[in-house]
């Protein structure tokens, strides 16, 4: 059974998107390994700000990797549905669900690391003040 020419064109587009998705995931994985090696090489340093910056970069790349790995099959599935390649689209949607659910804890942890820390609580008047008459109790109790 041969495919019709329009379906064949859609199959080529799906194949190219699949290759693009895999190459992007591999590039991001390589970038993540490079950041990990940089952090490993810098682990004996005393610069806490640099360690935090390397950690934030690693979390950003890890979140990008998660979104690429889980979102790439969704894009391919949409294109496959548009080309009436229903079985192919179903396979890619299933793959997206498995990869998305499997990597969700990793993606959520990376997103949590990227959130800015809460602002420090301003130091208001605190402690007890001595009152006239030698009373050193705190006001209000």
Angle at 30 between CA 28 and CA 36, to 5 degrees: 105
Burial 51-64 (b: 16+ CB within 10 A, else e): eeebeebbbbbbbb
Length of the chain: 141
pLDDT given at position 130: 60
For residue 127, the 8-state DSSP code is S
pLDDT given at position 49: 83
**CA within 13 Å, CB half, 2:** 3
pLDDT given at position 136: 58
pTM of the model: 0.77
pLDDT given at position 137: 61
Q: What is the mean pLDDT of each run of 10 residues along the chain (141 residues)?
A: 74 96 97 93 80 92 96 97 95 97 95 86 62 60 51
Alpha-carbon gap, residue 18 to 132, rounded angstroms: 79
């Amino acid at each position: 059974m041969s495919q019709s020419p329009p379906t064949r064109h859609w199959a080529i587009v799906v194949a190219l998107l699949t290759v693009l998705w895999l190459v992007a995931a591999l590039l991001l994985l390589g970038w993540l390994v490079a950041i990990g090696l940089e952090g490993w090489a810098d682990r004996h340093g005393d610069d806490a700000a640099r360690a935090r910056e390397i950690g934030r970069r690693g979390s950003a790349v890890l979140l990008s990797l998660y979104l690429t790995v889980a979102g790439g099959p969704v894009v391919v599935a949409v294109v496959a549905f548009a080309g009436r390649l229903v079985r192919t689209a179903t396979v890619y949607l299933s793959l997206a669900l498995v990869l998305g659910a499997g990597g969700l804890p990793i993606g959520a942890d990376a997103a949590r690391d990227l959130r800015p820390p809460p602002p420090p609580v301003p130091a208001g008047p605190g402690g007890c003040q001595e009152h006239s008459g030698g009373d050193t109790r705190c006001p209000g109790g």
